[in-house]
Structure 1
Amino acid sequence: MTGAYRIAGVGGQGVITMAKAISTILMNENLDPVMSEIHGLSQRGGSVVSDIKYDGAKSPILTKNDADVLIGMKTSEALSNMYVLKETGICIGNRINDSGKDVVIDFVEGKKVYWVDCQSIAGDDSSGSINMVLLGFISSMDPKIHFDDAMKYVSNAFGGKYTERNTTMLRRGYEAGVRIFGNVTN
């Protein structure tokens, strides 16, 4: 059975980095992923979307009701991409205040949505860490993305000070997910 992820954010948030991590983890699980990336603008702040399909998919591009998992690195990007989610799909989004008003959205179009306060989880080190916090969170609840596999990928993909920071953020996101879901994947 084919499965699919959509990762949506803006330039500079690490959408492509997260997509490569998930694709590599799926490949190591012999799930044969295919990945795309779509850039709305080629500068920081422009929309960036990456789609990943696996297990027999021929094309990675998602359309309406295709995604099992939607990962939104910005609240507005999660909401604007909600249409790709299957009825049984889940959305994991970074809960940030895009508008200057308090953003609380618990129920969107009958979908299962988990809003993660990545800035609070990351602390003072949140700049450039949202993707790792969300990847860690996902690894706590998605049986295809094991925390140990994510940690191995991050440890090998980054060098120097970035390895330590990214593994720390990955672990913090995982621990936040475990507090909600328990230890589902490991």
Structure 2
Amino acid sequence: MAVSPPICDFGAAMPDFTLPDPDGTPHRLEDLRGANGTLVMFICNHCPYVQAVMDRIVRDAAELQRDHGIGVVAISANDVADYPQDAPEHMKAEAQKHGFTFPYLYDEDQSVARAYGAECTPDFFGYNADGALQYRGRLDASGRSAGPPDAQRELFDAMVQIARTGTGPRDQTPSMGCSIKWKS
């Protein structure tokens, strides 16, 4: 069942965290922040909405990091007891397969996903340099399958605007995807 998160709560503070990568190495949010903003993405391996745009996520993240001073991090918070394909060893393989230029972290107790209010995969949170939320929209017009190759890069464009001005676009279309698989 597809889930859409709420609209952007402009100015909401970026919740702090320290989470491990699939090898168990801890990563602190403070070390992941970019000079001009930070993009926190909740994704997972098994979701068809994420898989449909994985190459676009990787492309946009690399360009935001390289050219716009945006820090990028991906987090998987799904219950791996019910969704074993989202377990850390599979996260590591997924990151290598797609050439992630950003850390892919595991939120085992789901506390970080709850702190952010993440609801689906993919769920994108774009913060300005001060750590104030400015974007909570979709990547582009893609759904369970990739949108047209020339689809407007909504997330990318919003993050570039945030990097330049500190504020995100007022008009945002919510992301859509699989619900976070919460532990019972």
Q: TM-score, normalised by structure 2?
A: 0.30
Where relative contact order (Cα < 8 A, 6+ residues apart) is larger, the structure is: 2
Q: TM-score, normalised by structure 1?
A: 0.30
Q: Relative to total residues, which structure has the larger helix share, 1 or 2?
A: 1
